[in-house]
C-alpha cells in the first residue's frame, strides 16, 4: 500500500508518504528534506523520536534546521560535519557547508509508484556549490525487505568531491548491542565523558583501548551513565552486515564494502541535547538529554569532507557528467542466541 497525505493535527506539519508491503513500512517527509520518520521491520518501529521536537517547522519564518533534532534519519551529503572546503577545490574553493550537508535544508522532488518489486518513493535534490544531483529510492518489497538505492551525479563542469552517511537515530538501552565485522579497523573521532584512545590510534572492533583496558563498544550502555563518542569502522571489501540488536530483535543493514567504505557510530548516553528548539524557560534548568545510538554505512570518513580530503584521503570524487551509485537493504529477524 502507498499512502500520501497531509498531517492535520498540526497546521504547519509536513506532508508525508508511507510505503507498506508485508509487515514492513517506511514513512518519509518530502518537505523536511526527505527525512525518514518511521521504519517498521519485523513488527517493530526502530527509529527514535524526540518528544521535545516535532517533525515540523514551527512557523513560516523558521528554518528546517529546527526540525533536525526530531529523530528519524537524514541523508548526510556532501558532508556530515559542518566544514569549509580547501581553497584548491575547483569550483567551490573555501565554500562553507552546513552540518549534515545540503539535503535537509530543502524539500525534495518525490515520486511514488508500485511494480512487481514493491512500493517505492524516489526523492531527488540539486545542490550547489558542489554541483550534484542526488537521488534516493526507497522500495518496500513484498518479502518485507526495505531497499535503499542512491545515485550522486556531477552536473557541473569540474570534478567534485563528497562523503555520504545515512544517519538513522535509534534508542539506546541496556539491551542495545552493535554487531560489526570482528577485528575491523576502528578509529575514535570524539569522546566526551569516557576515556577512549583517539587520534590516529587504530583499534580492532569491538575492542577500543580505554586507559589500560579494552572497552567493548558492542555494548554501549555498559560504558557508563553519561558519555558521548563518535567512531568510524572500516568495512571489508565484501558483502557486510551492520547490525543493531535490541534484546531478541535484530535489525540488519546489509551493504557491500566495494561501494561503502565505513560504518559510522554516534553514541549519546545522556550527554548531548539533540536539539535547542525548546529551551527551558528558567535559565538554571538544563535542557533534557536522551540516550541514543546512530549507526549506519558511510561512503568516506570521518565526519568532515574537509578532513576526508586531507589526512584520511577517503573522499569520493566524481568527474563531470559521471554518476556514483550505491545501495543498502534493511531486514529484521530474531537473535539466534540471546544473551
- Averaged pLDDT for residues 99-126: 90
pLDDT for residue 338 is more than 60: no
pLDDT for position 147 = 97
Q: Which of 8-22, 53-67, 139-153 has the lowest mean pLDDT?
A: 53-67
pLDDT for position 329 = 97
Instruction: Quote the mean pLDDT of the chain.
Output: 87
- Averaged pLDDT for residues 265-288: 64
pLDDT for position 271 = 81
Q: DSSP letters along 151-196, please?
A: EEEE-SSS-EEE-EEEEEEEE--TTEEEE--TT-EEEEEEEESS--
Sequence-distant (≥ 6) Cβ neighbours of residue 43 within 8 angstroms: 23, 332
pLDDT for position 63 = 46
pLDDT for residue 288 is more than 80: no
- Averaged pLDDT for residues 247-261: 95
Cβ atoms of residues 144 and 129 within 8 Å: no
pLDDT for position 285 = 53
Band (337; pLDDT cuts 50, 70, 90): low
38/41 Cα distance (integer angstroms) = 10
Q: Which CATH number fits domain 2-334: 2.70.98.10, 3.40.50.280, 2.130.10.10, 3.40.50.10300?
A: 2.70.98.10
pLDDT for residue 245 is more than 60: yes
pLDDT for residue 10 is more than 50: no
Please report, for residues 167, 180, 183, 191, 216, the alpha-carbon distance to residue 198 in angstroms, rounded to integers and kept in the order given: 22, 19, 17, 8, 15
Percent of the chain at pLDDT above 90?
A: 70
pLDDT for position 31 = 81
pLDDT for position 287 = 64
Band (16; pLDDT cuts 50, 70, 90): confident
- Averaged pLDDT for residues 174-179: 96
pLDDT for position 57 = 52
Residue ranges of the domains in the chain? 2-334
pLDDT for position 270 = 87
User: Could you read off the pLDDT of 298-307 as tens digits, one per residue?
Assistant: 999 999 999 9
Please report, for residues 64, 109, 134, 159, 260, the alpha-carbon distance to residue 121 in angstroms, rounded to integers and kept in the order given: 21, 10, 14, 29, 22
pLDDT for position 303 = 95
Long-range contacts of 274-280 (CB under 8 A, 24+ apart): 274/50, 274/53, 274/69, 274/71, 274/169, 275/50, 275/52, 275/53, 275/66, 275/68, 275/69, 275/70, 276/69, 277/52, 277/53, 277/58, 277/66, 277/67, 277/69, 278/52, 278/53
pLDDT for position 3 = 47
pLDDT for position 276 = 47
pLDDT for residue 176 is more than 80: yes
pLDDT for position 68 = 55
Band (107; pLDDT cuts 50, 70, 90): confident
Amino acid at each position: 500500500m502507498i499512502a500520501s497525505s497531509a498531517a492535520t493535527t498540526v497546521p504547519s506539519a509536513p506532508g508525508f508518504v508511507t510505503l507498506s508491503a508485508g509487515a514492513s513500512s517506511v514513512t518519509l517527509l518530502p518537505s523536511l528534506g526527505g527525512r525518514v520518520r518511521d521504519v517498521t521491520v519485523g513488527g517493530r518501529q526502530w527509529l527514535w523520536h524526540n518528544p521535545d521536537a516535532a517533525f515540523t517547522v514551527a512557523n513560516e519564518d523558521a528554518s528546517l534546521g529546527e526540525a533536525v533534532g526530531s529523530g528519524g534519519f537524514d541523508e548526510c551529503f556532501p558532508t556530515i560535519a559542518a566544514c569549509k572546503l580547501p581553497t584548491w577545490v575547483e569550483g567551490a574553493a573555501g565554500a562553507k557547508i552546513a552540518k549534515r550537508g545540503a539535503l535537509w535544508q530543502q524539500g525534495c522532488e518525490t515520486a511514488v509508484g508500485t511494480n512487481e518489486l514493491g512500493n517505492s518513493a524516489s526523492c531527488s535534490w540539486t545542490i550547489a556549490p558542489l554541483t550534484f544531483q542526488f537521488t534516493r529510492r526507497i522500495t518496500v518489497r513484498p518479502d518485507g525487505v526495505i531497499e535503499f538505492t542512491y545515485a550522486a551525479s556531477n552536473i557541473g563542469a569540474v570534478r567534485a568531491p563528497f562523503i555520504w552517511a545515512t544517519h538513522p537515530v535509534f534508542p539506546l538501552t541496556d539491551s542495545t548491542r552493535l554487531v560489526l565485522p570482528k577485528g575491523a579497523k576502528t578509529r575514535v573521532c570524539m569522546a566526551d565523558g569516557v576515556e577512549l584512545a583517539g587520534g590516529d590510534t587504530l583499534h580492532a572492533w569491538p575492542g577500543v583501548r580505554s586507559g589500560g583496558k579494552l572497552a567493548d563498544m558492542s555494548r554501549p550502555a555498559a560504558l557508563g551513565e553519561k558519555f558521548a563518542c563518535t567512531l568510524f569502522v572500516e568495512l571489508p571489501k565484501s558483502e557486510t552486515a551492520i547490525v543493531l540488536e535490541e534484546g531478541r530483535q535484530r535489525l540488519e543493514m546489509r551493504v557491500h564494502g566495494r561501494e561503502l567504505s565505513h560504518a559510522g557510530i554516534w553514541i549519546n548516553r545522556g550527554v548531548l541535547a539533540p536539539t535547542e528548539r525548546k529551551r527551558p524557560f528558567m535559565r538554571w534548568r538544563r535542557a533534557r538529554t536522551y540516550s541514543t545510538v546512530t549507526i549506519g554505512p558511510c561512503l568516506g570518513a570521518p565526519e568532515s569532507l574537509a578532513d576526508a580530503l586531507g589526512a584520511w584521503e577517503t573522499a569520493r570524487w566524481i568527474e563531470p557528467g559521471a554518476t556514483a551509485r550505491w545501495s543498502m537493504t534493511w531486514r529484521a529477524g530474531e537473535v539466534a542466541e540471546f544473551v
